[in-house]
Amino acid sequence: MRRLHLVRHGPTHAKGMTGWTDLPADLSDTAAIARLTAHLPAEAVMISSDLCRAVATADALSLPGRRRLPHETLWREMHFGAWENRRYAEIEAEDPERIAAFWERPGDVRPPGGESWNELLARITGALTRLSDNPATDTIVVCHFGAIVGALQICLGLSTEEAFAHRIDNLSVTSLCQIIGPDGSRWQAEAGNPIP
């Protein structure tokens, strides 16, 4: 049985839509990091998005038995393009129809210069495919809200609305296990927020 532990990076305290902007994580809550470190399997391999908030969070969760894989750009947050670091109300004042469609009907609508939800799903599908080549039983992926929601949608066969209904806090883990049966393999949710 394979397990995938999706960890959302530490908070950035940004007030706008932060996707590919490389903001640092606030890792000052050492008690939460200690709980998360203890909760995750000690011998798992660990990979992170290449954005500094994910890399630094993975560094904070490192243990001698956790082998680090190279950073993976496919696990980045959604690219908000011209909407990066801007608040919803500001964008709504300029382009109300597009931003409403982007959030209310996720799919092919994209921010100017950014990516759509379907493009993010294709990227995360590629990231999951790459992980399937790794023989490790437990894999920790330190990444972002959109990447985690996308992985849930893909692995569990959820609608976008069902996937977005999951609670994904900073410094939380969402665990999935892959069960191999006579009809092939399927994923199921094993654990989510909060960390004990």
**135 exposure class (CB count in 10 Å sphere: 0-12, 13-18, 19+):** exposed
Mean residue pLDDT across the chain: 92
My answer on whether omega of the bond before 194 falls inside 30° of 0, hence cis, is: yes
- What pLDDT, on the 0 to 100 scale, is given for residue 194? 60
Query: Across residues 79-90, what is the average pLDDT?
Result: 96
- 188 vs 55, residue with greater confidence: 55
Quickly count: other Cβ atoms within 10 Å of residue 67's Cβ: 13
- 196 vs 108, residue with greater confidence: 108
Query: Residue ranges of the alpha helices (H) in 1-116?
Result: 30-39, 52-60, 88-94, 96-104
DSSP state for residue 137 in the 8-state scheme: S
- Alpha-carbon distance of 4 to 47, in angstroms, equals 11
Q: How far is CA 190 from CA 27, 31, 46, 59, in A?
A: 26, 23, 18, 24
Cα dihedral across residues 139, 59, 27, 55: positive or negative: negative
- What pLDDT, on the 0 to 100 scale, is given for residue 196? 55
- What pLDDT, on the 0 to 100 scale, is given for residue 133? 74
- What pLDDT, on the 0 to 100 scale, is given for residue 48? 98
* pLDDT above 90: residue 36: yes
* pLDDT above 60: residue 158: yes
- What pLDDT, on the 0 to 100 scale, is given for residue 153? 95
- Distance of alpha carbon 5 from its chain centroid, rounded? 10
- Alpha-carbon distance of 121 to 136, in angstroms, equals 23
- Alpha-carbon distance of 79 to 92, in angstroms, equals 18
Query: Across residues 113-130, what is the average pLDDT?
Result: 96
- What pLDDT, on the 0 to 100 scale, is given for residue 172? 95
* pLDDT above 60: residue 9: yes
> Could you give the percent of the chain with pLDDT greater than 70?
95
In 3D space, the residue among 172, 191, 178, 141 whose CA is nearest the CA of residue 3 turns out to be 178
